[in-house]
Structure 1
Amino acid sequence: MDALADNLMAHLPFLRRYGRALAGSTEEGDALVTRAVEEAFDAPEAYRLDQPVVPASRIPLYAAINRLFDERGGKPPASAVLHPIEQALRRLPEEYRRIFVLVSLEELSFSQVAEVMAIAPERVREAMAGAQAAVREQLVATILIVEDDAIIAFDLSETVISMGHRVAGTAATQDEALAVAAAQNPTLALMDLRLAHGDSGIATAQALRERSSLPIIFVTAFAEELRQRGLDHLGPVIKKPFTREQIERAITQAVFTPRTAEKPTTLAR
């Protein structure tokens, strides 16, 4: 039983994230997850708690959260909107909204989402394409690219543009990054750790965070530096060399993740 409980505990952060996105609030999302967890403890094999902790083993749990949410009415309250992308998703058919969240936020494959939703994989593919198109029309992020390699900066810019977002500007140094941020007010930054003239991406992130709660995705060949300095919390890391799919998925997750208003935080150097 201890092993089953440990597996369930490992699933909880993902289940809470999905419950929050589905219900529109932390309180309601946690209530859904609590009921799903109770069911899972009563039937651990049916809920795959005896299997390795991977996305596929969460499928019955995601399905249970969907069912429990439907029993409560199947739609988040209008007053619970906390993030622009959630407003865009609320305008979608409910099936589209759930599929978008399961694919983009929870990183499930089309076949896994089909199992959660009890529909055909082809339907998932069609719905995801429709959801992406609708959200792209309604929400465009403004992204700052802080990268001293001109070729990589160009590649990141092309990826951002191909997703339908705007490039606030590119910067190779801390001063350039702060100037672009002040002028363009970006909603997200892609940040290298080693910048021109010996500037530090960590120090640049600190300076940006002192002004706002700007989300940052680090794109670097020195991913271990954040971990060694205990700064993993500053943002997700994509290690160079990267693929365009990795960048696209990280941007989608960063733009989607709800953020409450917060004061700028001074980070450890």
Structure 2
Amino acid sequence: MEQYTGHFMQHLPYLRRYARALTGTNGRGDALVTRTLEWYLEADEVEDGKSDLSRGLLYRHLNKLQDEEGLPPSIAPYHPVESALATLDELDRRLYLLVNLEDLPVGDAAAVLDLPPEEAMERLNHARERVRARLTATILIVEDDAIIAYDLAETVRGMGHIVCGNAATMDEALALAAEHRPTLALMDIRLADGDNGLEVARELRARRFLPVIFVTAFPDDLAKHGLEHLGPVIPKPFTRDQIEQAITRAVFMPQPEDARETAQPH
């Protein structure tokens, strides 16, 4: 029995990693691994002296136990990769985890999931594209200073996100937002032609919910007008680290329920 336990222990780090990702929590994942160990030690293959059960077979049993529990995976709302994976069909999510997290060849992962290799490859490519798209934000920059706008755009692109355009006025901002439906706006407050970024943000919120980060030399303007709820503020001059951290928080922050319910498109 000791040699069989030792054989299982060789796979333990991989099984725990996969089970935790499969269930979304450390506790539930470890419980599945414990039950898999119990199953392994009682399996006919072990009783017959066959201790060479593959890791793939153990992954398969973890999937079976998860299905029997009937509980959906727990998703950390602030974890960008988990949030992206949550948009996948469960079969595709498991395929993605087996290949990208566990480093299984696509053929081996297909066998774990009872998929034809060709279908597995097609599903994997689709899943990778979905995850890539989910992790890529489309960002609108509303800034009338060309140098600052350029710096912000370079920071956004350096993070792997897309800049859908730069607007210097309210009309330009609303037109770009309607055309590209961005995921986030970086907004100056005092714009060209006397326009005000606070009004732009309010209009965007009225049309549809859009997270806004204010990047401004006048950070007190929101408080003066009681509009702190419109978004966080980064005072000028700013650092790239400040912009990157704010973008990461905003892009992967779950939408407030009241925003989904009340923001009505025109």
TM-score by length of 1: 0.53
Match of 1:263 in 2: 262
Please report how far the alpha carbon of residue 138 of structure 1 lies from its aligned counterpart in structure 2 after TM superposition.
5.2
Please report how far the alpha carbon of residue 192 of structure 1 lies from its aligned counterpart in structure 2 after TM superposition.
0.4
1:162/1:80 Cα in 2 relative to 1: closer, same or farther (>3 Å)? Answer: closer
Q: CA–CA distance in 1 between the matches of 2:248 and 2:158?
A: 13
Please report how far the alpha carbon of residue 210 of structure 1 lies from its aligned counterpart in structure 2 after TM superposition.
1.0
Q: What is the 5 A alignment of 1:49-88?
A: 69-73=25-29, 77-78=72-73, 85=80, 86-88=82-84
Match of 2:34 in 1: none
CA displacement 1:53-109 (0-9 Å, x = unmatched): xxxxxxxxxxxxx9xx5334479934869799443255687xxx9xxxxxxxxxxxx
Match of 1:34 in 2: none
Match of 2:155 in 1: 159
Q: 1:226 aligns with which of 205, 222, 227?
A: 222
Match of 1:168 in 2: 164
* Paired residue secondary structure (1:214): coil
Q: Larger radius of gyration, structure 1 or 2?
A: 2
Letter in 2 for 1:161: R
Please report how far the alpha carbon of residue 175 of structure 1 lies from its aligned counterpart in structure 2 after TM superposition.
0.2
Q: CA–CA distance in 2 between the matches of 1:224 and 1:209?
A: 20
Q: CA–CA distance in 1 between the matches of 2:247 and 2:131?
A: 14
Match of 2:146 in 1: 150
* Paired residue secondary structure (2:177): helix
Contact 1:148 1:171 in 2 (8 A): yes
Letter in 2 for 1:198: G
* Paired residue secondary structure (1:148): coil
1:240 corresponds to 2:236? yes
1:170/1:88 Cα in 2 relative to 1: closer, same or farther (>3 Å)? Answer: same
Considering only aligned residues, what root-mean-square deviation do their CA atoms show, in Å? 3.6
Q: CA–CA distance in 2 between the matches of 1:248 and 1:204?
A: 22
Q: What is the 5 A alignment of 1:1-269?
A: 69-73=25-29, 77-78=72-73, 85=80, 86-88=82-84, 139-259=135-255, 260=257, 261-264=260-263
* Paired residue secondary structure (2:226): coil
Q: CA–CA distance in 2 between the matches of 1:138 and 1:182?
A: 20
Q: CA–CA distance in 2 between the matches of 1:152 and 1:244?
A: 11
How many residue pairs get aligned? The number is 163
Please report how far the alpha carbon of residue 227 of structure 1 lies from its aligned counterpart in structure 2 after TM superposition.
1.6
1:211/1:155 Cα in 2 relative to 1: closer, same or farther (>3 Å)? Answer: same
1:191/1:258 Cα in 2 relative to 1: closer, same or farther (>3 Å)? Answer: same
Letter in 1 for 2:174: L
Contact 2:169 2:193 in 1 (8 A): yes
Contact 1:84 1:139 in 2 (8 A): no
Letter in 2 for 1:255: V
Letter in 2 for 1:216: V
* Paired residue secondary structure (1:194): coil
Structure 2 unmatched runs, 5+: 1-19, 31-65, 87-92, 102-129
Q: CA–CA distance in 2 between the matches of 1:240 and 1:143?
A: 19
Q: CA–CA distance in 2 between the matches of 1:238 and 1:248?
A: 11
Please report how far the alpha carbon of residue 232 of structure 1 lies from its aligned counterpart in structure 2 after TM superposition.
1.1
